[in-house]
Amino acid sequence: MTQRSEKKLAHLKKLSNAKGIIAAAAMDQRGSLKKSIAAAKGVDPSAITYDMMAEFKTAVTKVLTPHATAILLDPEFGLEAAKTRGNAGLLLAYESTGYDQSGPGRIPLLLPTWTVRQSIEQGANAIKILLYYSPFEDAKVNTIKHAWVERIGAECAAYDIPYFLEFVGYPVGNMDEKSVEFAQQKPEIVKRAWKSFPNLNTKSTFSK
């Protein structure tokens, strides 16, 4: 049974409206955002600077937070934007953009110089991690991912802060991510991903 302390409930109320609905805007994109800004400017992504990213996130935060209960940002480029969110709650991403590309399985990575404590010090009401997950992946890979998720959950529990887990399904093997075959497989990926983490004290979402 999920236990929610008064402290966690206070954080969740900060993230939600009077009906208990969390209507959060997401602006924690990093690698993909760099590519999008670069394409709009007609330059290479390497030409997109920290200041450009921070300025964009700040502008988006100012525009969207009056219409949202919370904003999801990242510690790498979004901390200045977080200061402009007004009364909206704050979720901070904890994972590095992308994943470990040195081997198979889309193994996740954490920001190497960041902690849950630092997120709380920046005013976070919840910690969010994104996890590429497929129940059709090799069992050894998923064992690593389960341990990774549990480890972060323990850190969040120690600081008594809500923990949001975002699943992103992906094709295994040679299956094309844009294929009909993968689209047909997605419902099963979603169902089995949820069932794979039954005992964690998490709020989970599924994207893409």
Q: How far apart are CA 28 and CA 74, in angstroms?
A: 5
Residue 109 inside a domain? The answer is yes
**pLDDT surpassing 80 at residue 162:** yes
93, part of any domain: yes
What Cα–Cα distance (Å) separates residue 146 from each residue in 110, 122, 186, 187, 203?
14, 27, 20, 20, 15
DSSP single-letter state for residue 42: T
Please state, for a pLDDT cut of 90, what percent of the chain lies above it: 88
Quote the number of domains for the chain: 1
Burial category of 45 from C-beta neighbours within 10 Å (exposed 0-12, middle 13-18, buried 19 and up)? middle
Provide the whole-model pTM: 0.90
**Residue 50 in tokens:** 């920290």
Tokens of 98: 């992308």
Q: Supply the pLDDT for residue 207.
A: 53
pLDDT digits (tens, 9 = 90+) for 30-41: 999 999 999 999
Q: How many helices (H) and strands (E) does the chain have?
A: 7, 6
Please determine, for residue 183, whether its predicted confidence score (pLDDT) is greater than 50. Answer: yes
**79 inside domain:** yes
Question: Is 28 a member of any domain?
Answer: yes
In a domain, 63, yes or no: yes
Please tell me which residue, 67 or 103, carries the higher pLDDT value: 67
Q: Which range marks the domain in which residue 20 is found?
A: 6-207
Domain-embedded: residue 13: yes
Residue 166 lies in a domain: yes
Q: What is the CATH number of the domain that holds 186?
A: 3.20.20.70
Q: At what angle do helices 50-64 and 31-41 cross, to 10 degrees?
A: 100
Asked if residue 178 lies in contact with residue 208, where contact means CB atoms within 8 angstroms, the answer is no
Asked if the model's pLDDT at residue 48 lies above 70, the reply is yes
Give Cβ neighbours of residue 183 (< 8 Å, ≥ 6 apart).
none
In a domain, 1, yes or no: no
Give percent above pLDDT 70 in the chain: 94
